Amino acid sequence: MEPRTAGAIIGVLALCCLAFVLAAVYPGTTAEPHAAAPAEERFTVGDADADAYRASGRIVVDGEKRLAFDGVVTADGARYHSLQEAGVRSEQYQASPNATVYERLEIDDAADAERLKNQILETEDRRLLSEESTTERVSLVVASNGTDVADEIPGSASVIVRSLHVTRYERVDGNSTETAVYEPQNGWYEGTQPYRITDASGTVRTDAGTAAVESASVSWAVTDPAGSYAEYLLARLTGPDPRVYEISYEFVPGDSNLDRPAWVDDARDES
């Protein structure tokens, strides 16, 4: 047997022995996941039925933006919603609740863009206004009626807010009756498989009465599977680095400026 191979096998056996020792010294424990808390203690989305508000959120994993949205509803009725996911970015604009919805779609994959284009052409209440292609992406501009862009914003916001629930939280601001401030907690958690949260930091600020999130800026590292010190050690020594999550969110009630995007005017001129 090659000395290098023998050394590798001995190293693996040593790690396994160490894991067994830790399993005996530090028995597996899990923390009560925040998702198991009573409904009244869960974070919620702000009042999307308000006459005017602005909302935004981001989920970044290992430095890569996985999900991002921005939404605006103004006092005079204009609406805007943008959503960025892997390979697709969409923007929607509507001048008033019953007005035509203009949507721009930017798709990185040409085959996905072609499938989406065919779906648009086959839908009676959607009209393809323009199409542009580059080596990097395909852009489609679509007009539709019968929908309200304001209905799209709470769905995007809820995805961000639900992502906060992978950890439990501790309230750190005392007993304020107006605003509650929470910090994410390290520990073991039960999901589809057990995982450990480390390096948790940041705060979530909510309305103390409704638990509606006003702002959030938190981060943590996730190691899985890791339901005990032994599993955690093996995962850290033999697996990839923990995934680092950064989550931000803001909901601001009240009126704000919203200019009609230039691509809407361009599409109207072409049509």
Q: Per residue in 1-27, pLDDT tens?
A: 455 444 444 444 444 444 444 444 444
Which residue in 144, 142, 138, 245 sits closest to 201, CA to CA? 245
pLDDT of residue 41: 57
> How sure is the predictor about 226, in pLDDT bands with cuts at 50, 70 and 90?
confident
Q: How far apart are CA 226 and CA 232, in angstroms?
A: 5
Give 163-215 pLDDT, tens digit per residue. 999 999 999 987 788 999 999 999 989 888 899 999 999 999 999 988 999 99
- pLDDT more than 70, % of the chain: 84
As a three-state string, the secondary structure of 72-105 is EECCCCCEEEEEEECCEEEEEEECCCCCCEEEEE
pLDDT of residue 38: 43
Mean pLDDT, rounded, for 26-50: 59
Q: How far apart are CA 193 and CA 2, in angstroms?
A: 37
Which one-letter amino acid corresponds to residue 85?
A: E
Q: Which helix (H) or strand (E) holds 63?
A: none
pTM, two decimals, is 0.84
3-state secondary structure of 6: helix
Q: How would you class 77 by CB atoms within 10 Å of its CB: exposed for 0-12, middle for 13-18, buried for 19 or more?
A: middle
Higher pLDDT, 268 or 56: 56
pLDDT of residue 235: 81
Flag whether pLDDT at 39 surpasses 60. Answer: no
Q: For the chain, which residues make up each domain, given as ranges?
A: 3-44+166-253, 53-155+256-270
